[in-house]
């Protein structure tokens, strides 16, 4: 699933290629992709047609285009969603779900193989520039309003595993499996370490590594494993080359040489080094 860096790359692409263009006659080719737009596909298309995107925003894994109507086109990429800007007339992608023609002769296309992603038109919530559907999502670590000290207090107040807390979008948004594993590796913390047992210094160091790994991923366009994540121009990210833990089972740790292991975690996988990320209760 695309995480914060990948979604931010897409947001930047939309800011460059979609703002200031008038949306033409919208086509919903697969109704599941607008299932969160409760009034239905026809209403979704009608509320977008003729509108002009004026700004592109993101919180965690959600991104949205602010429209000149005051409403927002809210997007979640799910597992395999792509927001592509293509020339009009270019052959349709196999899994094209929604088409938004733009007045400059291009099209904004939502492509989604697994159809877990979705689009909807939403109204402002508590803040006029944030959709109501995103009100409950915590700020992400790269948000200028994010308060590190408040995060540390909230993290240490939890009684759960540290990785489970990092993936909790009500605590901090945008962190997924890849960057959680990478930040924990850099912090020398096992994913099952209890949050209430962390010191303030350990929690702050972990946050620093979360921010660090995300910033590094942003510089190279994010992480692409299966070809499903691409930017608006269809280009893959290259942070996979810089991963130290995630996806590296049975390969030597770059710090201590012990082989990376993969363990089951919340119906997914967690990667760590048993040499320098000691599990809770381990000696040495």
Q: Rounded to an integer, what distance in angstroms lies between the CA atom of residue 7 and that of residue 233? A: 14
Q: Rounded to an integer, what distance in angstroms lies between the CA atom of residue 152 and that of residue 199? A: 9
Q: Is 112 helix (H, G, I), strand (E, B) or coil?
A: strand
Q: Rounded to an integer, what distance in angstroms lies between the CA atom of residue 143 and that of residue 233? A: 25
Per annotation, catalytic residue among 127, 153, 268, 280: 268
Q: Range with the lowest mean pLDDT among 59-73, 155-169, 181-195, 209-223?
A: 209-223
The predicted-structure confidence for 91-131, as pLDDT tens digits, reads as follows 999 999 999 999 999 999 999 999 999 999 999 998 888 99
Q: Rounded to an integer, what distance in angstroms lies between the CA atom of residue 64 and that of residue 104? A: 20
The predicted-structure confidence for 148-188, as pLDDT tens digits, reads as follows 999 999 999 999 999 999 999 999 999 999 999 999 999 99
Residue 268 annotated among the catalytic residues of the structure: yes
Residue 2 annotated among the catalytic residues of the structure: yes
Residue 107 annotated among the catalytic residues of the structure: no
CATH of domain 148-243: 1.10.8.50
Tell me the pLDDT of the chain averaged across its residues.
Answer: 93
In the CATH scheme, what architecture does the domain 4-134 have? Alpha-Beta Barrel (3.20)
Q: Do domains 4-134 and 148-243 have the same CATH topology?
A: no
Q: Rounded to an integer, what distance in angstroms lies between the CA atom of residue 94 and that of residue 36? A: 23
Per annotation, catalytic residue among 47, 51, 58, 61: 61
Domain ranges of the chain: 4-134, 148-243
Confidence of residue 238 (pLDDT cuts 50, 70, 90): low
């Amino acid at each position: 699933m695309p995480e914060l860096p990948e979604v931010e790359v897409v947001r930047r692409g939309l800011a460059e290629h979609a703002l200031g263009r008038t949306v033409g006659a919208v086509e919903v080719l697969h109704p599941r992709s607008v299932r969160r737009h409760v009034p239905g596909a026809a209403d979704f298309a009608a509320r977008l047609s003729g509108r002009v995107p004026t700004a592109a925003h993101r919180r965690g894994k959600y991104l949205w285009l602010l429209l000149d109507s005051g409403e927002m086109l809210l997007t979640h990429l799910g597992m395999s969603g792509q927001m592509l800007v293509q020339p009009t007339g270019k052959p349709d992608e196999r899994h094209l779900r929604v088409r938004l023609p733009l007045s400059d002769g291009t099209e904004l296309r939502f492509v989604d193989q697994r159809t877990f992603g979705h689009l909807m038109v939403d109204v402002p919530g508590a803040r006029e520039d944030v959709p109501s559907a995103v009100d409950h999502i915590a700020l992400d670590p790269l948000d200028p309003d994010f308060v590190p000290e408040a995060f540390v207090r909230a993290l240490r107040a939890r009684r759960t595993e540290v990785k489970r807390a990092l993936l909790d979008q009500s605590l901090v948004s945008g962190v997924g499996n890849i960057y959680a594993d990478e930040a924990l590796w850099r912090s020398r913390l096992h994913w099952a370490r209890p949050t209430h047992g962390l010191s303030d210094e350990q929690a702050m160091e972990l946050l620093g590594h979360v921010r660090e790994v995300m910033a590094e991923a942003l510089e190279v366009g994010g992480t692409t494993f299966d070809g499903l994540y691409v930017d608006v121009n269809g280009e893959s990210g290259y942070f996979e080359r810089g991963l130290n833990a995630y996806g590296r089972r049975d390969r030597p740790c770059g710090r201590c040489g012990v082989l990376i292991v993969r363990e089951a975690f919340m119906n997914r996988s967690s990667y760590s080094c048993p040499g320098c990320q000691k599990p809770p209760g381990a000696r040495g």
